[in-house]
Structure 1
Amino acid sequence: MEKERITAENLLRRYAAGERDFQRILLEYADLSEGELQCIDLRGAQFSYVNLSSINLRHCCLTAEFIYCNFRNALIEHCDLERTRFFDCDLRGATLRYVELTSTAFTRVNLQGN
């Protein structure tokens, strides 16, 4: 099954309209910094070169692939990260509390300050 290519503006508009299911989306070269995306479902999604700094991701399913993403000072709490892949991501200062990390892969990830 192919991923749905989406823009940050489209994602935020749909989220504001009440949609929470964003499974299998593809988001590249976008800025979602300081956003509020609580309870979002990103199973099977792929994010590449996305700025997610200071984002609020509480109660989310983040079973996705994140490549060259910035999660500095992000709030990731009560989330499912099972089988999530972080590749060359910056998670400095990110809050990771009450998360499921079974089979999560961190490759060249900066977790300083966690």
Structure 2
Amino acid sequence: MSETNSQHIVNTAMTLKQRYAEGKRNFNGANLGNADLQGVDLKGSDFSYADLSEANLNSANLRGCDFSFANLSQANLQDADLRGALLFSTDLRQANLKGAKLEKADCDRTTHFPQKFDPAQVGLQIKDLPK
């Protein structure tokens, strides 16, 4: 049985943390622009198509999260753990990725990175988008 959030779009950091604590992991389409999520543990969550632009995710545990088609532009991902994350067609323009752990995360050629960012240098794997 698949979980849906169709009737409960997450749009505040407090709601997100509460739903995660309840065992929910589907935050597809969440509207969390400018949210303060510093140091939060959200591993294994689905943030596909979510808006996390300008969010503070400094030191957050985002291992294995799905950020496909998400907007993380200008987000603070400094020291965040993104190992194993899905970054297909993710907008990371002007994001702070300093110290972010990105080993074994997957991206594709439509993923947008900050200028002068080298995905291969941090262990990102460029793949074709799954069908």
Q: TM-score range by the shorter chain?
A: 0.7 to 0.9
Match of 1:38 among 15, 39, 43: 43
1:13 aligns with 2:13: no
Structure with more relative contact order (C-alpha pairs < 8 Å, separation 6 or more):
1
Gaps of 5+ in 1: none
**What is the CA–CA distance in structure 1 between the aligned matches of 2:106 and 2:87, rounded to whole Å?**
5
TM-score, normalised relative to structure 1: 0.87
SS for the counterpart of 1:67 is: coil
The percent of aligned pairs where both chains have the same amino acid is 32
Distance 1:33 1:91 in 2: 14
> How far 1:58 sits from its partner (Å)?
0.9
Distance 1:88 1:5 in 2: 24
Equivalent position of 1:105 in the other structure? 112
Runs (4+) of structure 1 exceeding 3 A deviation are: 107-111
Higher strand share: 1
Hey, what does 2:93 align to over in structure 1?
87
Q: Where does the alignment leave 5 or more consecutive residues of structure 2 unmatched?
A: 1-8, 123-131
- Greater gyration radius: 2
After TM superposition, the score normalised by the length of structure 2 is 0.77
CA RMSD of aligned residues (A): 1.9
